[in-house]
Amino acid sequence: MRDHALQILQSVFGYDSFRHSQEEVIHELLSGKDALVLMPTGGGKSLCYQIPAIVRPGTGIIVSPLISLMQNQVNALLQSGVRAAFLNSSQESEEAGRVKKALMAGELDLLYVAPERLLSPGFLTLLGRIKLALFAIDEAHCVSQWGHDFRRDYLELSVLHEKFPQIPRIALTATADEATRREIIERLGLEKARVFITGFDRSNIRYSITLKDNPRQQLLRFIEENHTGEAGIVYCLSRKKVETTAKWLNEHNIKALAYHAGLSAEIRAGHQNRFLQEDGIIIVATIAFGLGIDKPDVRYVAHMDLPKSIEAYYQETGRAGRDGLAAEAWMTYGMQDIVLLRHMIENSEADEKRKGLERRKLDSLVGLAEITTCLRQALLAYLGETYPGSCGNCDTCLEPVETWDGTIAAQKALSCIYRTGQRFGAGYVIDVLLGNETERMKSLGHEKLSTFGIGTELSAEAWRSVIRQLTARNFLCAPAEGFGSIMLTKEAAAVLKGEVKIELRKEKKKVKKSKKPRIRRGRGGVEKTLAAGDHQLWKALRERRTALAKEQGVPPYVIFHDITFMEMIESRPRDLNEMSLISGVGEKKLELYGRDFLAIINKYSIRP
């Protein structure tokens, strides 16, 4: 069976060899055993169940949380000649009937279904009448109430083991900390499953975190200077901010579409389809967007606000660079993000246990944002993986952060907050530290405090940095009531007593903005890696792919990924035999598109 699996990998999917632990996972399923797989986005999770479903007799049933994800994966499988289909609420009854008929006739290798459909009594009865190859539960972190994409229907999927105990099951996710892994195992009855953790590192992604300083302009500069004309995702915390950011980008001639739960299902579906099927579209979204998105050529993910946890950050940034080519995860944040998220936690209806967990998760993310050492190293450490040394592909590695002994400054700030009653915002506290006597201050008598004017050695901007970093390290917080004010946490006592030394990061000096109009770069990140004479061929290949995709009504990447084009440009195949050796060109795609793309390559190639 192992030889058969390798033959399927090569002939159907066009890859020479397995990656990571794919072969071991596949062997486990082919042997009739269960598996839990944690593999980074873009690491090849889908092949872990697709190949066994093709090799084993019967149909593989794939539980998938999103209609668009099912459709795109089925489109990609059909392009490779695999017998695949989906059942979901988007289909007319006649079409659904045809799929069920094919299922009953044993004509499907894979069938994608939503958990709601799978768990219906009628469908479970139907499954009992057919030959089953396996069950695959994709995006398995949805089963966890502590995770970041909780789906209540996933809690009932243990019924698969109860009703079909002899059928192997595989649960897959790109990210889950130890607590979430335990919950997945418990809720899905996977106690006997072998756990595969292949590592979380996405070495092709560059991580950058920067302070907010006119964030819209920062975003615009980031896109124009690094990713002109490329697909990207921009995350915002609120629906209103999604709308205004998308509008603002369009006003600056950047194609951006809004996506959030407040929009109609029709608009959301339309925007998502445009993002998947057109080149260079940007989606500006809340976390309502992204689960299961398999578009491989997203060149960047930008966060305009802090997400709620490192798991959410990792999951969302992982939607960039699924094809393995260079990509960026860029985030801007400020103290207001920290205060707002903590305020949301304290005012939520969750019980104290849940609030405590969310506080710890947020604190870990804030710590990551404020770190002075390698970002990747800290990110992976949180996920339970050790990264040796510095990565050289994050902003703290590429531009090392300077630090200073901020113990005395921290004591001054904490003391001032305490003496003013812990009921004012950072701006007021800074005025007291700097000795800026205002009418309000005089009316409260705060100009007579011992902390009045004790901080003149630092600027207002520097004090904002001190207070933000103290908030990030959980020495300051927002009270449950009185949003906008800051107060001391119990951890602050050790700082005031001098029991803790505080090392703070030096903020980079702001570069004066030029009054000259910014010149847009003509090429995005991927094109910059091409040799001088290859840009015309790159453009011609992509234009032909787009035309073919429109003819068939499928996203361009299901025909060929950009990375396959990069290999075509590098190797310049002369005939179909040489074309078949390129990664991602299986037998069916060679038959469908080989001559078409060979003609383009020959047109732009100078042969000796």
What tens digit of pLDDT does each residue of 431-477 get?
999 999 999 999 999 999 999 999 999 999 899 889 888 877 778 87
Cβ density class 65-89: b for 16+ within 10 Å, e for less: bbbbbbbbbbbbbbbbbbbbbbbbe
Q: For residue 12, what are its two tokens? A: 């159907």
Q: What is the pLDDT of residues 319-342, one digit of tens each?
A: 899 888 999 999 998 878 888 888
Q: What is the pLDDT of residue 183?
A: 87
Beta strands in 334-424 (DSSP E): 403-405
Q: What is the mean pLDDT of residues 135-153?
A: 74
pTM: 0.78
Q: What is the pLDDT of residue 149?
A: 55
pLDDT at 109 over 70: yes
Distance CA 359, CA 491 (A): 14
Q: Identity (one letter) of the amino acid at 215? A: P
pLDDT at 522 over 50: no
Bridge partners (DSSP) of residue 303 are 235, 331
Q: For residue 241, what are its two tokens? A: 């901010």
Within 8 A by CB and 6+ apart from 503, the residues are: 372, 403, 404, 405, 406
Q: For residue 139, what are its two tokens? A: 């995006």
Q: What is the pLDDT of residues 405-444, one digit of tens each?
A: 999 999 999 999 999 999 898 889 999 999 999 999 999 9
Q: What is the pLDDT of residue 290?
A: 64
Rg (C-alpha) for the chain, rounded Å, is 27
DSSP string, 65-122: S-HHHHHHHHHHHHHTT--EEEE-TTS-HHHHHHHHHHHHTT--SEEEE-HHHHTSHH
Residues in the chain, total: 608
Q: How far is CA 128 from CA 110, 118, 131, 137, 163, in A?
A: 16, 12, 8, 18, 8
pLDDT at 203 over 80: yes
In the chain, % of residues over pLDDT 90: 55
Q: What is the pLDDT of residue 15?
A: 93
**457, 438 Cβ separation under 8 angstroms:** no
**Structural domains present in the chain:** 2-197 (3.40.50.300), 205-333+371-398 (3.40.50.300), 403-505 (1.10.10.10), 526-603 (1.10.150.80)
Q: What is the pLDDT of residue 474?
A: 74
Distance CA 128, CA 126 (A): 5
What values do phi and psi take at 337, rounded to 5? Answer: -65, -45
Q: By C-alpha distance, which of 435, 443, 439 is closest to 412?
A: 435
Q: For residue 274, what are its two tokens? A: 């445009």
**Coil, helix or strand for 137?**
strand
Higher pLDDT, 155 or 298: 298
